[in-house]
Amino acid sequence: MDVKDKISRNQIHTTNFNTMSSSNSDPDWQPHQAIPTVISILFATLTSLAVLSFPKLFYPKSSLALVLSTLCLSWHFSDGFPDVFAQEQWLRALIMFGAHMSHLLVVRGTHQDLHTQPKEAKRTACYRGYKLLFNFRGIGTDWEVPYLHRTVTVQQKKYDDPTQNARKHDQIGRLRTKSRWSAVRRRVFYLLVNYLVLCLYYELLHPALYLLPKASDFTPTKESFLRRLPLTLVYPGSSAAIAARELWVRICMVVELVIPEYFWLASYHDISAIIFIGIGLDGDEDWPPIMGSVSAATTLRGFWGCFWHRILYRSFSEHATVLARWLGFRKGTTSGRLASNVLVFAFSAFMHAAVSFRIGNKCAWGRSMWFWVLQPVGFIGEGVVQTYWRRLRSTWNLNERMTRYTTVLENAVGCSWVCLWFFWSEPKRIFPLAYCGKG
Partners of residue 169 on adjacent β-strands = 156
Cβ atoms < 10 Å from Cβ of 329: 19
Q: Which residue has the higher pLDDT, 117 or 418?
A: 418
Q: Are strands 154-158 and 167-171 parallel, antiparallel or unpaired?
A: antiparallel
Q: How confident is the model at residue 351 (pLDDT cuts 50, 70, 90)?
A: very high
Is pLDDT of 39 > 90? yes
Summarize the confidence of residues 1-7 as an average pLDDT: 37
Q: What is the pLDDT of residue 1?
A: 37
Across 108-122, 212-226, 239-253, 339-353, least confident range: 108-122
Q: What is the pLDDT of residue 151?
A: 53
Partners of residue 170 on adjacent β-strands = 155
Is pLDDT of 172 > 50? no
Q: What is the pLDDT of residue 8?
A: 36
Task: State the distance between the two ends of the chain, measured CA to CA, in whole angstroms.
Answer: 31
Residues 6+ apart with CB under 8 A from 197: 263
Q: Which residue has the higher pLDDT, 244 or 4?
A: 244
Contact between 411 and 302 (Cβ < 8 Å) = no
- Percent of the chain at pLDDT > 70 equals 83
Is pLDDT of 130 > 50? yes
- Percent of the chain at pLDDT > 90 equals 44
Q: Collapsing DSSP states into helix, strand and coil, what is residue 154?
A: strand
The length of the chain in residues reads 439
Among 355, 361, 318, smallest CA distance to 340 is for 318
**pLDDT mean across residues, the chain:** 82
Q: Which residue has the higher pLDDT, 281 or 27?
A: 281
Q: How far is CA 132 from CA 110, 116, 279, 322, in A?
A: 10, 11, 18, 21
pLDDT in tens, 427-437: 999 998 888 86
Is pLDDT of 23 > 60? no
Residues 6+ apart with CB under 8 A from 276: 282, 286, 287
Q: What is the pLDDT of residue 380?
A: 92
Summarize the confidence of residues 390-401 as an average pLDDT: 85
Cβ atoms < 10 Å from Cβ of 276: 16
Q: Rounded CA gap, 50 and 125, in Å? A: 9
Region of 123 on the Ramachandran plot (φ > 0 left; ψ -120 to 50 alpha; else beta): beta
> DSSP string spanning 243-279?
PHHHHHHHHHHHHHHHHHHHHHHHHHHHHHHHHHHHT
Q: Rounded CA gap, 271 and 273, in Å? A: 5
The pTM of this model reads: 0.84
- Cα torsion angle, 51, 56, 57, 62, sign: positive
Q: What is the pLDDT of residue 394?
A: 86
Run of H or E residues at 388: helix 375-394
Q: Rounded CA gap, 385 and 367, in Å? A: 28
Residues 6+ apart with CB under 8 A from 334: none
Q: How confident is the model at residue 46 (pLDDT cuts 50, 70, 90)?
A: very high
Contact between 269 and 287 (Cβ < 8 Å) = yes
